[in-house]
């Protein structure tokens, strides 16, 4: 993955937290005959939102919630129709107000080979001030529990 050294250090101990298989649609392809680069970001978004919903990591009654401040993708091979893409979502270390998500996109029809890698930095934002705010305790606890499971398995 093409992360900055600081970001790379935060994700060295990544933990698989969610996997989803998404069908590639004919309309996902571009004039070159492969999945358009913007669609890869939609695949990652769909997986990230499904996982965050399961975690309860959604905006609260005051509108405070998660915002993506940076997203990236490294394209290794072109995905093509017909196929399905398996999106594996991992988490890295959590900070005061943020956490990293790391994602792999795999071709189901090609033995789950990795076709792209990417991710996003998720920051908890106070809706009134539009500035970062500490992660809610329940979300921080869930992230810590997921990371603790990783450490016990070593």
User: Tens digit of pLDDT for each residue in 20-79?
Assistant: 999 999 999 999 999 999 999 999 999 999 999 999 999 999 999 999 999 999 999 999
pLDDT band at 3 (very low <50, low <70, confident <90, very high): low
Query: What span, in angstroms and rounded, lies between the C-alpha atoms of 97 and 8?
Result: 18
> What percentage of residues in the chain have a pLDDT greater than 70?
88
Could you give phi then psi for residue 81, rounded to 5 degrees? -80, 140
CATH of domain 5-153: 3.10.129.10
Q: What is the pTM (predicted TM-score) of this model? A: 0.87
The values of phi and psi at residue 115, to 5°, are: -105, -25
Helix (H/G/I), strand (E/B), else coil: 109: helix
**How high does pLDDT run on average in the chain?**
90
DSSP-based helix, strand, coil % in the chain, nearest 5: 30, 40, 30
Judge whether 17 and 106 are in contact, CB under 8 Å: no
CB-based contact 66:123 (threshold 8 Å): yes
**Confidence class for position 148, pLDDT limits 50, 70, 90:** confident
């Amino acid at each position: 993955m093409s992360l900055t050294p600081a970001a790379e250090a935060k994700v060295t101990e990544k933990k698989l937290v969610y996997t989803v298989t998404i069908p590639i649609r004919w309309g996902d392809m571009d004039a070159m005959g492969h999945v358009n680069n913007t669609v890869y970001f939609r695949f990652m978004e769909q997986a990230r939102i499904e996982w965050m919903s399961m975690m309860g990591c959604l905006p609260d009654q005051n509108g405070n919630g998660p915002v993506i401040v940076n997203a990236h993708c490294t394209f290794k091979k072109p995905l093509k129709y017909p196929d399905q893409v398996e999106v594996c979502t991992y988490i890295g270390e959590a900070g005061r107000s943020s956490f990293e998500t790391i994602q792999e996109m795999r071709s189901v029809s090609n033995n789950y080979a990795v076709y792209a890698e990417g991710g996003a930095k998720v920051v908890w934002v106070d809706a009134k001030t539009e500035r970062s705010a500490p992660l809610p305790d329940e979300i921080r606890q869930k992230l810590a529990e997921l990371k603790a499971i990783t450490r016990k398995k070593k």
